[in-house]
Amino acid sequence: MLRRLVLPALFASALSVPTLAGELGTQREFRNWLASCDNVRSCQAVSLKPDSDDTAWVLRLQRDGTASAPVQLSILPTDGEPGPGTRLVIAHAGRPIATLAVGRGMAIVDEVLVIQDRAAIQAVLSAARTAESLDLRFDPAIPADKPVQTISLAGISAALLWIDEQQQRVGTTTALVRPGSRPASAVPAPPALPPAPPERSQPAGSSKPVSDAARQAMEQHSQSYCERDDRSPDTEGATAIPLGGTLLLASVRCFSGAYNFSRAFFLLEDGPQPVIRPALFPRPHRDATPDDPQSPDNVLTNGEPDEVSAAVSYYAKGRGLGDCGDLGTWQWDGRAFQPIVYRRMPVCRGIPAYHWPLLYRTR
């Protein structure tokens, strides 16, 4: 299992600790639902379709952290696309609770069906308290051989209660699961959306070569948490990106797989006696397991440093299909790498990356 390390005396003792403008967001799974809240308490709950059904659609409920924020309801297609003539009946226990059509209570926004009818949204929320499932009947059918899509509601009540707790709504008139008599004004205002660090701009081709001594120092530091692969030259680690002054961003190969390639990143001051320290990329905490260990914060999977802007992005796939994992971007602010955006989908259920829940964002 990967583990945190105490730096040897050979290396600099002070880590580059980022100053965050807010929390990094949080996420929990409740049976067939995944609930997520970002750093400004904007939350969402998404249904998790069965492993055996690649064509199932996904129901998503979203709500901002402000006291008066309404619940937003949308349906994410995973097979086929809704068209202008799409009609939808939402049913519970065989009885319709809402009938909608594109242009009449429902709209298509970026290929997503957005429910605009407030009565329909309230009917779904009411059903969520007692029902085991909802049926979505499309006309024309999407996909063509499956006119009815069933959404499991197992876990939705717990997911919505958790969201109420994160937004501190429990006991207020705005709570979805445990409302009370306290007014909406009792809900505290969410944190302000933090600004993104200004993007740097430096000429392309400004990378610097990394000395053998520096490379050996980084390999020595990372040997206890990286699986060294020396079958081919590490050409990517031959150069480093200038961060200002004498400081460089350098990396060494950490792990190679079928679709994931990770590297350990370091802040480097090169010279006869190079000084290194891990380049930290903060991410929301998650519990490590033997099958899914928590990597050190300086290890990124499929990381892509940008030589011009000094930003670093990554996209770690949970499996080759790319329907689970996490992705994010950090920007160097002159002292540390600060998060810009972070998305995570811990369950592999056919949801594409652009629909993964946001856990951190900036303005």
How far, in Å, CA of 330 to CA of 314, rounded? 9
C-alpha span between 123 and 129 (Å, rounded): 10
Give the model's pLDDT for residue 173: 97
pLDDT-based confidence at 94, cuts 50/70/90? confident
Comparing CA positions, the residue from 170, 77, 174, 61 lying closest to residue 125 is: 61
C-alpha to C-alpha distance for 288 and 310, rounded to whole angstroms: 29
3-class secondary structure, 124: helix
Tell me: the pLDDT tens digits for 45-87? 999 988 767 667 899 999 999 999 999 999 998 777 788 888 9
The dihedral over CA atoms of 313, 317, 318, 319, expressed in degrees to the nearest 10, equals 180
* Mean pLDDT, the chain, integer: 87
Which is it for strands 337-345 and 247-256: parallel, antiparallel or unpaired? unpaired
DSSP-based three-state secondary structure for 250: strand
Q: Is the pTM of this model over 0.75?
A: yes
What strands, in cross-sheet order, belong to the sheet with 358-360?
A: 304-305, 311-317, 325-332, 337-345, 358-360
The pLDDT tens digits of the residues spanning 303-357 come to 999 999 999 999 999 998 888 999 999 999 999 999 999 999 999 988 889 999 9
Query: Which residue, 194, 185, 80, is CA-closest to 138?
Result: 80
Give 294's pLDDT tier (boundaries 50, 70, 90). Answer: low
Q: Above 70 in pLDDT, residue 13?
A: no
What are the Cα distances from residue 294, in Å, to 3, 186, 289? Answer: 7, 37, 8
**pLDDT bracket for residue 111 (50, 70, 90):** confident
Residue type at position 118? R
Could you tell me the pLDDT band of residue 230, with boundaries at 50, 70 and 90? confident
Residue 215 has φ and ψ, to the nearest 5°, of -60, -40
Parallel, antiparallel or unpaired: strands 112-115 and 72-76: antiparallel
pLDDT number for residue 285:
59
The pLDDT tens digits of the residues spanning 118-169 come to 999 999 999 998 889 999 999 988 878 888 889 999 999 999 999 999 999 9
Phi, psi of 178 (to 5 degrees): -125, 70
Q: Rounded to an integer, what is the distance from CA 207 to the centroid of its chain?
A: 30
Residue 88: per-residue pLDDT? 94
Quote the tokens at residue 142: 């999407």
Q: What is the pLDDT of residue 36?
A: 97
* Nearest Cα to Cα of residue 16 among 281, 256, 231: 281
Q: For residue 77, is the peptide bond before it cis, meaning its omega torsion is within 30 degrees of 0?
A: no
Strands (E), 64-182: 72-76, 87-92, 95-102, 105-109, 112-115, 133-139, 148-152
Q: Which residue has the tokens 């730096």?
A: 7
pLDDT of residue 2: 32
